[in-house]
Structure 1
Amino acid sequence: MQTTGNTILITGGGTGIGEALAHRFHDLGNTVIIAGRRMEVLQKAIAGRPNMHALTLDMDDAAGVIAFADKLTTDFPGVNVLFNSAGIMRMEMGLDKARDLSDAEASVASNLLGPIRVTNALIEHLGKQQNAVIVNVTSGLAFVPLVIAPTYSAIKAAIHSYTVSLRAVLKGKVEVIELVPPAVQTELTPGQKTNERFMPLDAFADQVMAIFQQTPTPSEILVEGVDFMRNAEAEGRFDDTLAAINPFLK
């Protein structure tokens, strides 16, 4: 992936990982459009940054995603990079009994259908662009689940698989990259931003950008420490890793 001269859409670009990467790509001289539900959050993220733009997007609204894509490609016809970064994380307790599935259903709508819809709405446009790239943000939990976030973990595994399929189908047309974060200090869940066991956001973003500037860019962006989960099954230590990240199972 070239790291300059792009027009980049980053969903979920108003907060967390999306915002941090939006700022870094903007610092490199790219035109960056961030998208999310809350315009006030987006406006704060782009404040004081010329050539950085904000558009509202509700990925739960299938028709709205299509309308968003039409507006995006009309206003920014050169858009050639899509970062699917938006998402929510809901904790779910009590898998051993019947329960309210509203959190699971919301996660599927936002974290699975959302990026699939956005990709689908933009894929023909991207296929016509030079240096086109799709970056899907998954998680170390795609490879070893956190059992109190089972739907979130399962969806990230699904997006990993979906990314593999996209990469195979789009070979030679659109570069497809998977970004696999570890636990990062963001506001994704309560208390996460100040958890000292998690990777600081700036350190994460710095490592990610350094990897993006490698030639060629790896198909998977793996920062320090996340290979502990990414390679657990291949290295024959899945059960131990599952126990390590879910100590309460003991």
Structure 2
Amino acid sequence: MQVSGNTILITGGGSGIGRALAEAFHGRGNQVVIAGRRQQVLDEVTAANPGMESAVLDIEDADAIRDFAEQLKLDHPALNVVIHNAGIMRAEAIQDSSLDDAEATVATNLLGPIRLTAALLPHLLAQPHAAIITVSSGLAFLPLAATPTYSATKAAVHSYTQSLRHQLRDTSVQVIELIPPYVQTELMGPGQASDPNAMPLRDFIDEVMAILDSSPDATEILVERVRPLRFAEAGGNYPAFFRQFNDASSTH
């Protein structure tokens, strides 16, 4: 993927990894459009980054996604990159009878990217150069038991991305999977942003952009910190690694 001269949509662009990616790409001379649920948050980001644009999107709402995509194509006909970053992560006790968190997680993390890809794909296929970037997680490969649906949706995003890449292999659309480790954001609350066990957000973004610079044909963006999770199954003794990882996580 070329890192400049694009028109890029980033969902979940109001905070965390989404905002940091938006600012990094904006600084590289791309036209960046951030999308999210809260207009006030989006306005704060665009005010701090003159020239960046925003649009409200409820990624859980199938009808809203279709309407959003149609308007986006009208407003930004040069759109050629979509970064599916919007996501939620909630702790769940599986023995709890409520499915509200699980259903919201599936709608946001999995159905949202699938629906938005379907809505924008004909437009992207018409561009000379285009890219779809999904954001999965190291937890797609080594699940965090405390967040079972989140981990499952990220595993599904990984699988979907592989299939999408294969189906689009002879087109102008490059399909890339960004696989973050545990990063200092507020995905699971304010405490995560300062957790010393998490990778500093700036370090993560710097490494991601360096990988895109050096490996424009990469299919997966893997910072060094996520590699143990990404290759946990191939490393041998997975059950012990799974227990160790989840026992350690439960003490944080």
Alignment partners' CA distance in 2, 1:115 and 1:157: 13
Alignment partners' CA distance in 2, 1:159 and 1:220: 13
- For the pair 1:152 / 2:150, whether they are aligned, the reply is yes
Alignment partners' CA distance in 2, 1:83 and 1:237: 34
Unaligned runs of 5+ in 1: none
- 1:229–1:241 CA contact under 8 A, matched in 2: no
Runs of 4+ in structure 1 over 6 Å off: none
Tell me the TM-score normalised to structure 2 length: 0.95
Aligned to 1:64: 64
Q: Secondary structure at the match of 1:47?
A: helix
Q: Secondary structure at the match of 2:90?
A: coil
The one-letter amino acid of 1:36's match is G
Alignment partners' CA distance in 2, 1:4 and 1:237: 42
Aligned to 1:178: 177
- 1:184–1:200 CA contact under 8 A, matched in 2: yes
- 2:2–2:216 CA contact under 8 A, matched in 1: no
Equivalenced residues, count: 248
Structure richer in helix, relative to its length: 2
Q: CA-to-partner distance for each residue in 1:22-66, whole Å, 9 max, x for gaps?
A: 000000000000000001101111114232100000011111111
Alignment partners' CA distance in 2, 1:215 and 1:230: 18
Alignment partners' CA distance in 2, 1:221 and 1:48: 27
The one-letter amino acid of 2:232's match is A
Unaligned runs of 5+ in 2: none
The one-letter amino acid of 1:143's match is F
Q: CA-to-partner distance for each residue in 1:164-188, whole Å, 9 max, x for gaps?
A: 0000001132100000000000000
Aligned to 1:130: 128
Q: Secondary structure at the match of 2:10?
A: strand
Sequence identity (%): 53
Aligned to 1:161: 159
Alignment partners' CA distance in 2, 1:27 and 1:158: 32
- 1:182–1:199 CA contact under 8 A, matched in 2: yes
- 1:185–1:201 CA contact under 8 A, matched in 2: yes
C-alpha displacement of 1:98:
5.0
The one-letter amino acid of 1:181's match is P
- 2:183–2:199 CA contact under 8 A, matched in 1: yes
